Structure 1
Amino acid sequence: MSIENITKEGWMNSVFPEWGTWLNEEIEETEVPEGNVSMWWLGCTGIWIKSHEGTNILCDLWTGTGKRSHGAGNMKKGHQMMRMSGCQELQPNLRVQPFVIDPFEIKDVDALVVTHIHSDHLDINTAACVHHNCPKAKFIGPQEVVNTWLEWGVPKEKTIVVKPGDSVKVNSITVKALEAFDRTALVTCNDPEEILKGKMPQDMDEIAVNYLFETSGGNIYHAGDSHYSNKFAQHGNDYKIDVALGAYGENPRGITDKLTSIDILRMAESLNTEVVIPVHHDIWANFMADPNEIVMLWQFKKERLNYKFNPMIWQVGGKFTYPQDKGVIHYHHYRGFRDVFSTDNDTPFPSFL
């Protein structure tokens, strides 16, 4: 090693992705207990689901970054945040979380499933890696998501367009598409010159869906970037939902883009879920929120409102197995050292300890 040999490229290759293949290896080696389903949080709303039978579904994995320069200090013309609020200044959405999985080492994915058109959910690097590493994998999403994949070069025969009410069987897991409630997606338009005011909105079913993943170990509801909707209650009536994931965040002034802590609790109650897990709050510097607020409000309200669910506060890169971990409130990464003193320690004398 010499300081004369250090380069920016070498530095990036030596530290990125920050977790290397640690999580790739863990997922590959995990044997899910019978009657259970395991999932890992990959950051933002990215989830890896693995069934007892060995079916692997990757949902919404995003491998990009937020702002990397102040630039001219202005919002990109036509951006959905500009459209909804009339703001002009640059949105300071820096990526906060490290990359916990190496997309180029992804293996054994049976389907890549994407909720909607936004680039922090629909990712070209993920699409390329799944296409090349998992040649039999299906690409499942609403029409405009599939259109984007086709533009990127994903073969049409690999893609499956879904709309609310559709079901796709992926080995041992059934993927059901349900209505999405993402009003931010409705004001997303690729043409910065197009004016949306006074026009009919886009068809939500073409650009976004929520999903229910039905497995032998339990059913997982992924709400994508949906805002709170009274229709959650209909989904809770129509389907058995065991675990629900919602896009939580602290909305900046004049912006409504994420579920609040109260919204998360209302969503869980409406869906009749057993467990509710906030996601997305981890990733953007300007939307970060403390999920402990959800726990505090749940504790305050659960007796009076007779809540039948509990929140689970996750950490990115962590595994959650249902129903094995059903009662866990706060996830913590494995702390290690379970084999202390399994061999003789080596210190100069015992008082060192």
Structure 2
Amino acid sequence: MSPSLWQRIVDDVVPEGTVSIWWLYQAGFVIKSPGGTTIAVDPYLSESVLASYGISRAVPAPVDAQEVEFDAVLASHPHDDHLDPDCVTAFAARETTAFVGPPSAVKIARGGGFPGARTHALRRGETVAIGDVTIEAVLARHMFEPEPTPDALGYLITAGGRRVYHSGDTEYDARIVDDTEDRVDVSMICMNGTAGNMDVDEAAMLAFRQRPSLAVPMHFGLWHDEDYGPGATLDPARFVDVYRRLAPGAEVAIPRIGEPIRFPCR
């Protein structure tokens, strides 16, 4: 029997000066450092959105919330597909797992069992260190109705001397450029274009302004396409096309389950 995805992440040896990134669908990623620190960002591993919005997964969760042992769970904002309410208690049960997020997300994490000493409420410009990883909160603008999230964040995550941007859910905003321009090695950018997020054109423009060494489009692949809503831009090849018109020769990695993105490639 082949090892589970989580076991593969555990066994992954990350050389100095590199970072390893594993996709969990939608905006969920695991980032692993050379020191072995594993940071999960926006992991959605249940069917909780079926109860809250009537939308079911189109694909099974690639890892089991009961199996994983993250050093930290980051939530960009408290919407269920980014801060999974059915998994918070499982994450909190691991005594070495910390939680990082905006105040609204930290409140939910504490209600789910995370003690205050293991939670870190961040606002734009604030940082926290988890093992050999540094996490900086940057601006996100995710104010769509009916559930605006005024304290939503993006993150700059530094591991192995490499800085990874995770957009969370956000519309295009010049203040994101202010926070991230020329500061990003790997840029993971939402591109679905509905529910208060950038579409492929806006995501490509943000990547162009950031000038990362590698761009990674995300926020697709979890629901059935029609469940993202009318006008959704879910084909990452469209992102690649627009981005490379702006930045000919730019490097892009389309995330796939079970295939780690390693930066720099080895």
| Structure 1 length-normalised TM | 0.68
Report whether the alignment pairs 1:311 with 2:252. yes
Residue 261 of structure 1 is aligned with which of 178, 200, 211?
A: 200
Residue type matched to 1:129 in 2?
A
Structure 1 Cα separation of the partners of residues 134 and 76 of structure 2: 15
Structure 1 Cα separation of the partners of residues 45 and 247 of structure 2: 40
Deviations 1:166-207 (A, max 9, x none): 1101111100011111122x6417xxxxxxxxxxxx7x23xx
Secondary structure of the residue aligned to 1:213 is: strand
Report whether the alignment pairs 1:45 with 2:30. no
Structure 2 Cα separation of the partners of residues 307 and 234 of structure 1: 23
> Which runs of structure 2 are paired with 1:53-132 in the superposition (5 Å)?
53-65=35-47, 93-107=55-69, 109-132=70-93
Name structure 2 gaps, 5 residues minimum.
none
Deviation at 1:232, TM superposition (A): 2.6
Relative to structure 1, is the Cα distance of residues 101 and 140 closer, same or farther in structure 2, using a 3 angstrom cutoff?
same
Match of 2:220 in 1: 281
Secondary structure of the residue aligned to 1:128 is: helix
Deviations 1:50-107 (A, max 9, x none): 10111111111112227759xxxxxx8xxxxxxxxxxxxxx77442222111111112
Match of 2:131 in 1: 171
Deviation at 1:272, TM superposition (A): 2.1
Structure 2 Cα separation of the partners of residues 55 and 66 of structure 1: 27
Name structure 1 gaps, 5 residues minimum.
1-18, 70-75, 77-90, 190-201, 326-353
Secondary structure of the residue aligned to 1:64 is: coil
Deviation at 1:307, TM superposition (A): 4.8
Residue 189 of structure 2 is aligned with which of 246, 260, 266?
A: 246
Structure 1 Cα separation of the partners of residues 101 and 2 of structure 2: 28
Residue type matched to 1:128 in 2?
T
Structure 2 Cα separation of the partners of residues 20 and 146 of structure 1: 36
Secondary structure of the residue aligned to 2:66 is: helix
Contact between 1:21 and 1:101, CA under 8 Å: does it hold in 2?
no
Deviation at 1:124, TM superposition (A): 3.0
In terms of Rg, which structure is larger?
A: 1
Relative to structure 1, is the Cα distance of residues 67 and 162 closer, same or farther in structure 2, using a 3 angstrom cutoff?
closer
Relative to structure 1, is the Cα distance of residues 217 and 322 closer, same or farther in structure 2, using a 3 angstrom cutoff?
farther
Structure 2 Cα separation of the partners of residues 145 and 217 of structure 1: 28
Secondary structure of the residue aligned to 1:226 is: coil
Residue type matched to 1:283 in 2?
L
Deviation at 1:261, TM superposition (A): 1.4
Structure 2 Cα separation of the partners of residues 33 and 94 of structure 1: 38
Relative to structure 1, is the Cα distance of residues 68 and 171 closer, same or farther in structure 2, using a 3 angstrom cutoff?
closer
Residue type matched to 1:54 in 2?
G
Residue 147 of structure 2 is aligned with which of 180, 184, 188?
A: 188
| Structure 2 length-normalised TM | 0.88
Structure 2 Cα separation of the partners of residues 293 and 129 of structure 1: 37
Deviations 1:209-250 (A, max 9, x none): 11100122411001101111122321234x620111112215
Report whether the alignment pairs 1:142 with 2:110. no
Deviation at 1:44, TM superposition (A): 1.4
Residue type matched to 1:122 in 2?
L
Deviation at 1:308, TM superposition (A): 6.9
Relative to structure 1, is the Cα distance of residues 297 and 258 closer, same or farther in structure 2, using a 3 angstrom cutoff?
same
Relative to structure 1, is the Cα distance of residues 158 and 104 closer, same or farther in structure 2, using a 3 angstrom cutoff?
same
Number of residue-to-residue matches in the alignment: 260
* Identity across matched positions, percent: 25
Relative to structure 1, is the Cα distance of residues 170 and 308 closer, same or farther in structure 2, using a 3 angstrom cutoff?
farther
